[in-house]
């Protein structure tokens, strides 16, 4: 169990929100109490034999998570055994609980199953009665083995550091909150007579919230909702249901705006010259101390894009077209082409976009030329995408030398991948 370190990062972000936004003056104490309650309940759950339940944070909608009457009644999650993102909002009037403070519905149910005393004659009937409630939406469950990783879990609802049954909406709200916080950080944490180290640390903490949202959101692309009800137990639900195409596209649109767009990191721009670590002795030997925001942004973008372009994701996107999915690998790559290139085809390309455009072309080239693990449909989609991009880039216009050089390099990489003589 590694909840401690992750929960600490989430708590730190919640603390910045409570300290920086108007109307939250009394919230740091509530946040602290709920943070420790969640952590202690989680570890106590392990001592009583409970698995992680990484699906439990799907219990409530974003609107319900903003209603403290509801979060006080049920908690922000169906179980204390999830790894939850801090439930925070920019609007104090819509701030539900930050963390769960009591065992959730799933925990009560699992403990009831594990610890209710029955006589031998009553045991089977008693256990069956408890188990008959397994289709209750508040008792949703998925443990570590179900978490979505490339080549592993397939249900995007089973994840760490996510929240709500609508990650597209919840994630967009959190991205907006991050941008709102960014513009307040310097005034709040650059203190006279002190170094900029605290400001840099707060920036990194807030930036991490983008990772917390982008990772779980990306898992919906090519995802499949999984249901393990027995035959006849939940006849309205199939064992495997592809994530609806319109929801996948909604996720992609949100990621486009807040992770990949040319202006995705505009809120951070004024901070860059102030992101200075405090010098201690000789700790900068071999490590130039200037801030490198483009590398942090690229790490976020690659973290997101690498999952979407993984062979397991694209192959599954094609496979599931056989039973309901209408968002194939070609559709996914077509949307990524637009997401990464269309906004600056008639202007210059900033450094953030130069980096991710170059890496994306390399990834497509790899699929075409050495991607043995990719199915035929994904290879065809990648080849087609490279040809479409070559056309787009050749028609693009630039006024500065760096953008011209960047586009010339992209054409070189594409031609090399297509073996054009």
CA distance 35 to 21: 19
State the sign of the Cα–Cα–Cα–Cα dihedral 373, 254, 294, 275: negative
pLDDT of residue 150: 86
**pLDDT at residue 219, rounded to an integer:** 97
Closest by alpha carbon to 389, among 372, 405, 407, 377? Answer: 407
The confidence score (pLDDT) of residue 23 equals: 74
DSSP β-bridge partners for residue 240: 226
What CA–CA distance (Å, rounded) separates 161 from 174? Answer: 12
Q: How far apart are CA 278 and CA 295, in angstroms?
A: 20
pLDDT of residue 164: 96
Rounded to 5 degrees, φ, ψ at 134 are -65, -20
**DSSP bridge partners of 225:** 241
* Cβ pair 413, 395 in contact under 8 A: no
* pLDDT given for residue 420 in this prediction: 52
Nearest CA-CA partner of 239 in 230, 227, 249, 250: 227
DSSP state of 218: H
Separation in Å, CA 112 to CA 249, 267, 350:
41, 49, 57
In a structure prediction context, what are the per-residue pLDDT tens digits for the chain, which is 421 residues long?
889 899 999 999 999 988 888 777 678 888 999 999 999 999 999 999 999 999 999 999 999 999 999 999 999 999 999 999 999 988 878 889 999 999 999 999 999 999 999 999 999 999 999 999 999 999 999 999 999 988 889 999 999 999 999 999 999 999 999 999 999 999 999 999 999 999 999 999 999 999 999 999 999 999 999 999 999 988 989 999 999 999 999 999 999 999 999 999 999 999 999 999 988 877 777 778 899 999 999 999 999 999 999 999 999 999 999 999 999 999 999 999 999 999 999 999 999 999 999 999 999 999 999 888 999 999 999 999 999 999 999 999 988 999 999 999 999 999 999 985 3
242 by DSSP, 3-state: which?
strand
Q: Looking at the chain, how many residues does it have?
A: 421
Backbone angles phi, psi at 193, to 5 degrees: 80, 0
The stretches of 219-262 forming alpha helices (DSSP H) are 245-255
| Contact yes or no for 162/57 (Cβ under 8 A) | yes
Beta bridge partner(s), residue 226 = 240
């Amino acid at each position: 169990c590694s909840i401690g370190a992750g929960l600490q990062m989430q708590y730190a972000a919640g603390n910045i929100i409570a300290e920086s936004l108007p109307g939250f003056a009394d919230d740091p104490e509530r946040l602290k109490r709920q943070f420790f309650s969640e952590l202690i309940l989680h570890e106590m759950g392990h001592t009583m034999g409970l698995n992680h339940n990484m699906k439990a944070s799907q219990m409530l909608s974003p609107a319900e998570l903003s209603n403290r009457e509801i979060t006080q009644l049920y908690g922000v999650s169906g179980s204390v055994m999830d790894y939850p993102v801090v439930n925070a909002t920019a609007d104090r009037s819509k701030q539900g609980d930050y963390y769960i403070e009591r065992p959730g519905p799933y925990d009560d149910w699992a403990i009831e199953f594990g610890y209710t005393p029955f006589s031998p004659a009553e045991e089977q009937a008693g256990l069956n009665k408890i188990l008959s409630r397994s289709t209750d939406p508040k008792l949703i469950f998925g443990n570590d083995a179900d978490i979505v990783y490339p080549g592993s879990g397939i249900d995007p609802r089973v994840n760490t550091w996510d929240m709500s049954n609508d990650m597209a909406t919840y994630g967009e709200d959190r991205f907006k909150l991050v941008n709102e916080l960014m513009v307040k950080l310097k005034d709040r944490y650059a203190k006279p007579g002190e170094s900029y180290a605290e400001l840099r640390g707060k920036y990194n903490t807030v930036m991490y919230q983008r990772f917390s949202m982008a990772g779980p959101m990306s898992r919906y692309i090519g995802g499949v909702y999984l249901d393990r009800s027995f035959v006849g137990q939940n006849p309205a639900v199939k064992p495997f249901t592809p994530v609806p195409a319109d929801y996948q596209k909604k996720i992609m649109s949100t990621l486009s705006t807040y992770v990949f767009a040319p202006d995705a990191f505009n809120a951070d721009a004024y901070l860059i010259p102030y992101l200075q670590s405090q010098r201690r002795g000789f700790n900068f030997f071999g490590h130039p101390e200037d801030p490198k925001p483009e590398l942090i942004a690229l790490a976020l973008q690659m973290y997101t894009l690498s999952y979407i372009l993984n062979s397991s994701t694209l192959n599954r996107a094609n496979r599931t077209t056989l039973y309901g999915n209408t968002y194939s690998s070609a559709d996914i790559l077509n949307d990524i082409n637009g997401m990464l290139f269309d906004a600056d085809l008639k202007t210059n390309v900033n450094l953030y976009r130069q980096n991710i455009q170059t890496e994306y072309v390399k990834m497509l080239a790899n699929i075409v030329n050495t991607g043995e693990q990719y199915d035929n449909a994904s290879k065809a989609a990648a080849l087609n995408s490279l040809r479409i991009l070559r056309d787009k880039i050749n028609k693009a216009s630039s006024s500065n030398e760096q953008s011209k050089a960047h586009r010339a390099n992209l054409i070189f990489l594409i031609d090399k991948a297509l073996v054009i003589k």
